[in-house]
Amino acid sequence: MSRSDQQARTPVRSGPRLVGSTPPSGDSSEEAELMTEDELEEIVGDLTECADDALSEAACGGIVDPAEVIAWTEFARRLILYQRDEDLIRAEVPELARGLVELLHEVELPAGETPRGVARAFVMKLAPIRFTLSMDIEAAYQGDPASQSYTEIAVSYPSLQALTVYRVAHELHALGVPTLPRIMSEYAHSTTGIDIHPGATIGNYFFIDHGTGVVIGETTEIGDRVRLYQGVTLGAASLRDGPSLRGRKRHPTVEDDVTIYAGSTILGGDTVIGKGSVIGGNVWLTQSIAPGSHVIAEPPHQAVRDEDPATAEQLKWDI
């Protein structure tokens, strides 16, 4: 996109007025002392210039309103998970498509793609998304003895909410839509504590138990019937030259029927967790393991001593 094209795009929308602020009341002497018209114009020019800094480049390219993306995401999530009335679905699917078209006008699509074409391709994926999520619910029910019903999982489990947003965002990501899928995934992250990049590939019957603190990176590949517990990271090794790694596989591959327990970290694009393996809690892995492996971390040394009941409430460190 040329600089002139960037400048021609709609500027960033105004943010909300600060709580307690009041609109300008006119040319009072107090206000006139704050700045001159020339100073104001200089500030406005500096804030709206399409300069070479990162934020100016982003703003001049057009910034979509995250609140609108979140509202559309919630609409899609409710339609997929909960809506079963035929008449309402008949009305809401076109409404969902129209809302997506409006959002797609705010971003730069791949060459040859149009907002209407992308929206049409997406809504054709609604039924497959729902079918995949039904398998995720089944995996949660089979994997968590605390679950009482499919309904309980669908309406209350944070992992299912995060997976719903992920599976919607992933389809948009696959269609080449920029920015919107990341806003969606970060929204799910903020509400569930589960961070799944929309570019990750996740198979069927996937279950995250508890979920808080789980991180799944962009190029992660996960097979079928995989189960994760809270605090698991499927990440990339941190290198200084980040831009040189864009487009490369940086995150691990987890094959079918793998269980990874709480607090484990698995890093690297060349790392493959073989089919049927079990990774114990607090394990650190940066290399591949064979199918059927069991990996555990050696427990730390702990010392236990009898405590005087009179001072039991005090924590002593001189063990």
Whether 200 contacts 222, CB under 8 Å = yes
Work out the pLDDT band at 10, boundaries 50, 70, 90.
very low
End-to-end CA distance of the chain: 65
**pLDDT tens sequence across 219-239:** 999 999 999 999 999 999 876
Q: What is the DSSP string of 212-239?
A: TT-EE-TT-EE-SS-EEETT-EEE----
pLDDT higher than threshold 70 for residue 32: no
Whether pTM > 0.85 for this model: the answer is no
pLDDT higher than threshold 80 for residue 303: no
- Look at residue 240 in the predicted model and tell me its pLDDT: 66
- Look at residue 7 in the predicted model and tell me its pLDDT: 44
pLDDT higher than threshold 60 for residue 17: no
For residue 79, give the amino acid letter. L
- CATH fold, domain 200-299, is UDP N-Acetylglucosamine Acyltransferase; domain 1 (2.160.10)
- Look at residue 8 in the predicted model and tell me its pLDDT: 47
Number of H helices, E strands in the chain: 11, 14
**pLDDT tens sequence across 250-285:** 999 999 999 999 999 999 999 999 999 999 999 999
pLDDT higher than threshold 80 for residue 319: no
Cα distance between residue 310 and residue 319, in whole Å: 18
pLDDT higher than threshold 80 for residue 309: no
**pLDDT tens sequence across 113-164:** 999 999 999 999 999 999 999 999 999 999 999 999 999 999 999 999 999 9
Whether 140 contacts 157, CB under 8 Å = yes
Work out the pLDDT band at 53, boundaries 50, 70, 90.
confident
More confident residue, 288 or 13: 288
pLDDT higher than threshold 70 for residue 31: no
Domain spans of the chain? Answer: 48-194, 200-299
Order the strands of the 272-273 sheet from edge to edge: 201-202, 221-222, 253-254, 272-273
Residue 221's DSSP bridge partners are 201, 253
pLDDT higher than threshold 60 for residue 11: no
**pLDDT tens sequence across 162-210:** 999 999 999 999 999 999 999 999 999 999 999 999 999 999 999 999 9
In the chain, pLDDT over 70 holds for what percent of residues? 84
Query: Is there a shared CATH topology between the 48-194 domain and the 200-299 domain?
Result: no
In the chain, pLDDT over 90 holds for what percent of residues? 70
Whether 277 contacts 295, CB under 8 Å = yes
| HEC per residue, 90-135 | HHHHHHHHHHHHHHHCCCCCCCCCCHHHHHHHHHCCHHHHHHHHHH
More confident residue, 150 or 39: 150
- Look at residue 150 in the predicted model and tell me its pLDDT: 97
Work out the pLDDT band at 3, boundaries 50, 70, 90.
very low
Cβ neighbors of 223 (< 8 A, separation 6 or more) are 203, 254, 255, 256, 257, 258, 275
Q: Does domain 48-194 have CATH number 1.10.3130.10?
A: yes
3-state class (DSSP) for residue 285:
strand
How many residues are present in the chain?
319
More confident residue, 266 or 49: 266
- Look at residue 92 in the predicted model and tell me its pLDDT: 97
For residue 184, give the amino acid letter. M
